Chain A
């Protein structure tokens, strides 16, 4: 009957014996595990860089909102046409009507680099004319004061909300009267700090929320007007109660609504963050496969090095193997001893590789400025894959050692 206690005790003895055996030939052991170390360094560094890139992309998508569809004005690429003036209020109404309770449509008009004054203090800010739905969709809330209300839209009030940076720069508080170029305006609220809208690589315009002044869209003094129609710079459609798989078809429908309304003039661009997420996942999968292939090659080369070291060790220790067999070691124990050898050799290489991989990733971050992120999986995967390599490449040398007959092994010179 096999007792697990006995197996564990034998394994413990073989591990100690194998470790002492490795320490006998420190330089050879170090060189033998070097291939594995380099392979694991490459694996951990690449995983950390990949993880950093993924995290950055996910942060960007999270900033855009997964359940949103963003539409922006793109008349510049189309030229002048009287078929369509661009995004207008009628578009938002059509989309709202089609969506019903499945979502809401926020919108904005933008004016960049507007001179903003508080008494003698002057700054430059981006001024947006928005509807209350836009603020909700951006999840941007008021820290001090009150939010924009539908009444402000109706009354076309000259009130505004200020981003925290511009408010601080101009020493503005709630109730202050400021001027946006020559337009007077009362500050009704200071917004919470939100940073930037992460639009890099999406084709969307960037926005520094904290340096932005927000006004009610109706009566927005900086709106571009074409043929007496105020033009919108962007729409932000928020979808509610919609399963993830339906978001892209709905976005397609919204695109068609606008397309019909604009008489097929493609004077707008649309970004669906969910599509970006799918793209990130695809890229990530591709990167993972490339990484696995490179890491596998490195580990393969490392494994062959380990096998070489093992065969050299066995060749030198033939008489010791004979001795062990003579005094009672079974073939199974000889296999176990040499598998422990190769396991420890590669595992130590793997652990060393993981630590060096972390340092390499931090070095790359410092030198190249790439963002890196460490996941527990990548740190565990290095030593585990090294250990598995050790076991796979240790099997042949271990079986070869066990195939010796004691008398023949003892005779070896």
Chain B
């Protein structure tokens, strides 16, 4: 059984009286250890496909199965639990909560699931901060970090619940070459360790890291 299966996924939006197609019908399969790169021109529906696969939005047609369970028909709590425990997210813009410290931002997923004892999960968070080279910055405000450091913070947060799949939407889009390389290496390492990685990018250098490439054409 595939870890993640997208069956005839299609996404349309109603804009005024017009029905706009954001993603034409796509089917795909993602397995553990696979580093799938989704690429294509702007407007091809890359990010939309990533959102559908990760349960951030629902398809207009088709279905997404995670470990055989359909995300579209799942109740909201179950879907939130899967996003919390089984999926890790890295976005092009490193979204953080500015009023929390770096360490608290990494611990954020535990606020919505997992271990309830802070002393237990804080150790885990520190380990992940160390993994991305930010251990010394744990007490700092995210506002004081550079773009590369922020993306590494987000990376640590994505890993902290030991997810089965990491979804990365243009993770290097706002980074310089050195930081881009670091993030891509880290993603590749995660795939090597057995996690599935689904990454959207349009950068050729980034595509080279993928084990499989799905190219979408403009709708």
Binding site for B on A (CB under 8 A): 6, 9, 13, 17, 20-21, 23-24, 319-320, 322-333, 405-408, 410
Say if the beta carbon of B80 comes within 8 Å of chain A.
yes
Say yes or no: is B66 at the interface (Cβ < 8 Å to chain A). no
Q: Does B56 contact A (CB under 8 A)?
A: yes
B98-134 near A? 1/0 per residue, CB < 8 Å:
1110000000110111001000000000000000000
Q: Which residues of A contact B80 (CB under 8 A)?
A: 325, 328-330
B100 touches A20 (CB 8 A): yes
Q: Which residues of B contact A (CB under 8 A)?
A: 51, 54, 56-57, 76-77, 80-81, 83-85, 89, 91, 95-100, 108-109, 111-113, 116, 157
Of the residues A6, A23, A324, A327, contact of B99 by C-beta under 8 Å: A23
Q: Which of the listed residues B80, B85, B113, B157 has the most CB atoms from chain A within 10 Å of its own CB? A: B80
Q: Which residues in A have their C-beta under 8 angstroms from that of B157? A: 327
The CA of A394 and the CA of B80, in the complex, are separated in Å by: 23
Chain A contact residues: over half helix, strand or loop, or mixed?
helix
Contact between chains at A407 and B112 (CB < 8 Å): no
Identity of the chain A residue whose Cβ is nearest the Cβ of B75 in the assembled complex: A330
Residues on B with beta carbons closer than 8 Å to the beta carbon of A327: 83-84, 89, 108-109, 112, 157
B51, B56, B83, B89 pick with most chain A CB within 10 angstroms:
B56
Q: Which 3 pairs across A and B sit closest by C-beta, in order of nearness?
A: A328-B84, A328-B112, A407-B57
Across-interface contacts of B81 in A (CB, < 8 A): 328
> Does the CB pair B95–A410 fall under 8 Å?
yes
Complex-state Cα separation, A325 to B56, whole angstroms: 8
Contacts of B57 in A (CB 8 A): 405-408
A328 adjacent to B76 (CB under 8 Å): no
How many pairs of residues, A versus B, come closer than 8 Å at their CB atoms?
63
Find the A residue at minimum CB distance from B154: A323
Q: B56, B83, B112: which contacts A405 (Cβ < 8 A)? A: B56
Q: Do B97 and A329 touch (CB < 8 A)?
A: no
Collect the chain B residues with CB atoms within 8 Å of residue A332's CB: 77
Specify the chain A residue showing the minimal Cβ separation from B86. A328
Closest partner residue, chain B, to A406 (CB atom): B56
Chain A residues contacting B54 (CB-CB under 8 Å) are 326
- What are 12 A-B contacts with C-beta separation under 8 Å? A17-B111, A20-B100, A23-B99, A320-B97, A322-B95, A324-B112, A326-B54, A327-B108, A327-B157, A328-B80, A328-B113, A329-B80
Known: A21-B99, A324-B112, A325-B80; 4 extra A-B contacts, CB below 8 A, are A326-B83, A329-B80, A406-B57, A410-B56
**B-chain residues with CB within 8 Å of residue A323 when the two chains form the complex:** 95-97
Q: Chain B residues with Cβ under 8 A from A322's Cβ?
A: 95
Q: B162 to nearest A CB, angstroms? A: 14
Task: Give the chain B neighbours of A324 by CB distance below 8 A.
Answer: 108, 112
Q: Which residue of B lies closest to A3 (CB)?
A: B116
From known contacts A23-B99, A319-B95, A407-B57, infer whether A326 and B116 are also in contact, taking CB-CB under 8 Å. no
Contact A328:B85 (CB < 8 A) given known A320-B97, A407-B56? yes
**Bound CA span A395–B47, Å:** 32
Expressed in whole angstroms, the Cα–Cα distance for A118 and B57 within the complex equals 101
On chain A, the residues within 8 Å of B116 by CB distance are: 6, 9
